[in-house]
Structure 1
Amino acid sequence: MIKLAAFDVDGTLRDRDYLPESTKLALHKLKEEGVQLALCTGRSEYEMASLYKELEIDWAITCNGSHIGHRGSTVFGTPFEKETVTRWLREAERAGHEVLLYGAELMFSNRPDAPLFRRAQVEIGFMEPVQLQSIDDVPDIYQCIVFCTEQEEAAYTGQEQEPLYVHRWRDWAVDFNPSGMNKAVGLMKLLDHLGIPKEEAAAFGDGLNDLEMIETVGMGIAMGNAGDALKAKARFVTQTMHEDGIAYAVDQWLLR
């Protein structure tokens, strides 16, 4: 029996501001059956606050697994070394790159009005970040997005003693997370905390940064809009979000 279900957000639960009514009803069914719910996303806790309140979801695994919050309060976190973040900001300043930094409570930018950030905001949606005031006075950071090409990426990753978790989601934008982190690691930490075996967990996703969690849990479910690589790792493939894929999967596999 499934005791916890984790959901990627963009392309899985919602598309920008569109969240199917069928998805809301399916999540309500799960809660009525005693299934715990968790968001599991590459976005920040700051950006997820309104969504988990709307859906009455207590747990949010954010920053690709680097941060775990319960009703908005940090429970577990794996931040970068402060020296690493400072070096990245200095490199971005030198190269003219735009950077987003995800803290536990806020999202910061070195250049919030720069064109690539605004392009990403139009394409996938971002809340407005806070202007970073000082390179040397940065809080704990759990994820960094650099708006740069793959060739320029090495200036950020090449000096790290351990490999970062790197997820490139556009030709001109890439996520960095601390070494060893991904959504599966964050989800396993939450499952251990709750005393739930991974075999009794389900996970839904549509992107490559969902791959590890999809193949880790007992019931990994790829959305119909997922790529072939993710579908190959999933136990089940449901319909797309716009075709009520969450509701279909809940009725067909989770609650039968």
Structure 2
Amino acid sequence: MVKAIFFDIDGTLISFKTQTMPESTKNAIKQLHKTGMKLFIATGRHFSAIQSILNVEFDGYITLNGCYCLQGTENVIFKKSIHRDDISHFIDYLENEWSFPCLFVEEHSLSVNYIDGEMKFLMDLLKEDTLPHHSPGYYRDKELFQLTAFFKDDMSEEIMSRLPNSTYMRWYPTFADIICKGIDKGVGIDKICEYYGFSASETMAFGDGGNDIAMLQHAGIGIAMGNANDVVKQAADYVTDSVDDDGILNALKHFEILP
């Protein structure tokens, strides 16, 4: 029996094409609440970049790819920051080898080293009109929970070799979320389950990006959106329609969660 459902945001709840949530998804979430189902967000976003785009209620939030988990909107039940040595190595790389735009995520704030066209695209996705600017050295002594860095796949091995205590994942091709090694959305599911007293086998999860793979594999039922790539689909138990074609509602009907 499914007791809780976890939803990624971008490409799952929110369409990349329209930047909005389909009406069928909004209505499905409202119907799920009436059944008593527990509903959670599981995203790479910071909590501050969630509320402005979601106009429906959720019971809790897995944010920053599992590094920061909340019951409700204020009760922090788990948090894990990036190792200090890795932060120092990352800053050294930006200062001395290759400078690229990066979103630096602290517990309660977002800021950047600089803004170019690619960073502006991310800011538009996050509905952030302006963000503070700081030079990389500013962050050397900061507690950081995530680095959203603009490097492509062909640079991943070189950059991550400098960060032995970290891992990375992508939910869009042009940037990667760097977080503490050993953390992912699947870990976030466990933290929520521990708090509420149910098991991962009693959960369902929806996702479309590379950062959703661990979650889809860990949930009792992992559902990939039709707009996901083949690697994500292969990790899922079921592939539904795209976010723009009522994928969430159709999967809920398929599994008889909703009539």
For Structure 1 versus Structure 2, the TM-score category normalised by the shorter chain is 0.7 to 0.9
- The 5 Å alignment of 1:97-108 reads 97-108=100-111
Task: Check whether the contact 1:207–1:230 (CA below 8 A) recurs between aligned residues.
Answer: yes
Within a 5 Å distance, the mapping from 1:194-213 to structure 2 comes to 194-213=196-215
Structure 1 residue 170, shift from structure 2 partner: 5.3
Give the structure 2 partner of residue 242 of structure 1. 244
Instruction: Tell me whether 1:148 sits opposite 2:165 in the alignment.
Output: no
Match of 1:159 among 138, 162, 182: 162
Secondary structure of 1:56's aligned partner: coil
1:219 to 214, 218, 221: 221
SS at match of 2:222: strand
CA distance in 2, matches of 1:136, 1:242: 39
1:41 aligns with 2:31: no
**Which amino acid is 1:59 matched to?**
G
The match for 1:22 is: 24
- Aligned partner letter, 1:159: R
Describe the SS at the equivalent of 2:138. Answer: coil
TM-score by length of 1: 0.88
Within 2, Cα distance between the matches of 1:139 and 1:48? 23
Aligned identity (percent) is: 27
* Aligned equivalent of 2:78: 76
* Distance 1:171-1:13 versus aligned 2 partners, 3 A rule: closer
Number of matched pairs: 252
1:44-59 alignment, distance < 5 Å: 44-52=46-54, 54-59=55-60
Q: CA deviation at 1:90?
A: 3.3
- Report SS of the residue matched to 1:188: helix
Where do 4+ consecutive residues of structure 1 move more than 6 Å?
Answer: none
Matching residue of 1:5 = 5
- Residue from 240, 251, 254 that aligns with 1:252: 254
Contact 1:8 1:204 in 2 (8 A): yes
Equivalent position to 2:116, from 108, 114, 117: 114
Compared CA separation, residues 137 and 125, structure 1 to 2 (3 A): same
1:178-189 aligned within 5 A: 178-189=180-191
**Alpha-carbon contact 1:89-1:99 (below 8 Å) kept:** no
Query: Is residue 91–residue 155 contact of structure 1 (8 Å, CA) maintained in 2?
Result: no
After the TM superposition, which of the residue ranges 95-104 and 237-246 deviates more from structure 2?
95-104
The structure-2 alpha-carbon separation of the partners of 1:250 and 1:169, relative to structure 1 and needing over 3 Å to count, comes to: closer
Q: Deviations over 1:45-65 (max 9, x none)?
A: 12112245x211131111111
Q: TM-score, normalised by structure 2?
A: 0.87
The question of whether the paired residues in 1 share the 8 Å contact of 2:86 and 2:164 is answered with no
What is the identity, as a one-letter code, of the residue corresponding to 2:107? A
**Distance 1:226-1:171 versus aligned 2 partners, 3 A rule:** closer
Shift of 1:121: 4.1
RMSD value, Cα: 2.3
Q: Which runs of 5+ in 1 are unaligned?
A: none
SS of structure 2 residue aligned to 1:131: coil
Residue 160 of structure 1 and its aligned partner are, at CA, apart by 3.3
Seen in structure 2, the aligned counterparts of structure 1 residues 55 and 171 have a Cα distance that, compared at 3 Å, is closer
